[in-house]
Chain A
Amino acid sequence: GAGVSQTPSNKVTEKGKYVELRCDPISGHTALYWYRQSLGQGPEFLIYFQGTGAADDSGLPNDRFFAVRPEGSVSTLKIQRTERGDSAVYLCASSSSDSVSDTQYFGPGTRLTVL
């Protein structure tokens, strides 16, 4: 079946603009994670959804970052007033249950470049 998909694959924006990044998880997966990965680093946890609710948003760096998952499937990560330091690959992952030890399936990521 289809894996996790993310759109767009690349996004170039100017400092100060607003961006939305989309994640389509594997069908039926209730758990969804967002991570940010900078060059040469491992993924950094941002937020975790179980169903429609954000069960853990402790990784969001500041209030410019916000994520939603209104119907418990597709999720959107929203970044306001983008800064050059926001440039990174944003990864989404989903898993089939709320057990953190369950396998997380990652999407290919969205590469965000803030000029």
Chain B
Amino acid sequence: SQKIEQNSEALNIQEGKTATLTCNYTNYSPAYLQWYRQDPGRGPVFLLLIRENEKEKRKERLKVTFDTTLKQSLFHITASQPADSATYLCALYTGGFKTIFGAGTRLFVKA
């Protein structure tokens, strides 16, 4: 069956460290993958998109990698700050108009 897996356990890190979040998928061949941030009581906010022919994408303190052989994307936040604390969702586009979201990973950055 088709699955998107993100760490269900929260990730706790110290301010200034790099946070690394994982998104694994099975039985999909996504044309691209997106990462979103979601704060409690809010809708998701788009962060980055990476296409299947791209290995890495950067935006300010954010970096995303996409390995279609491993069927995995890694999302990195460098020099993390308490304001980065949120839930991070990965989402796949596999065709048509449908985006498939993972359940998200909660990140807590301690000062």
How many chain B residues touch A (CB < 8 A): the figure is 21
Nearest CB in chain B to that of A6: its residue:
B43
Q: A45 to B99, Cβ gap below 8 A?
A: yes
Fill in one digit per residue for A88-115: 1 if any B CB lies within 8 Å of its CB, else 0.
Answer: 0001010000001101111111000000
Cα A55 to Cα B95 in complex, Å, equals 13
Which residues does chain A contribute within 8 Å of B98, judged by CB atoms? 45, 48, 56, 58-59
- A-B contacts, CB under 8 A, total: 55
Q: Which of B13-21, B55-63, B101-109 lines the interface with chain A?
A: B101-109
Which residues does chain B contribute within 8 Å of A91, judged by CB atoms? 43-44
Nearest CB in chain A to that of B95: its residue:
A100
Cα A93 to Cα B52 in complex, Å, equals 24
Nearest CB in chain B to that of A55: its residue:
B97
Interface membership of A16, Cβ < 8 A: no
Q: B101 to A44, Cβ gap below 8 A?
A: yes
Q: A106 to B41, Cβ gap below 8 A?
A: no
Q: B45 to A106, Cβ gap below 8 A?
A: yes
Q: A100 to B99, Cβ gap below 8 A?
A: yes
Interface membership of A70, Cβ < 8 A: no
Interface membership of A28, Cβ < 8 A: no
Cα A91 to Cα B100 in complex, Å, equals 14
Nearest CB in chain B to that of A48: its residue:
B97
- Where the two chains meet, the residues of B that have a C-beta atom closer than 8 Å to any C-beta of A are 4, 32, 41-46, 49, 89, 91, 93, 96-104
Instruction: Supply 6 further A-B pairs (C-beta < 8 A) apart from A42-B91, A108-B43.
Output: A42-B103, A45-B98, A45-B99, A58-B96, A93-B43, A106-B42
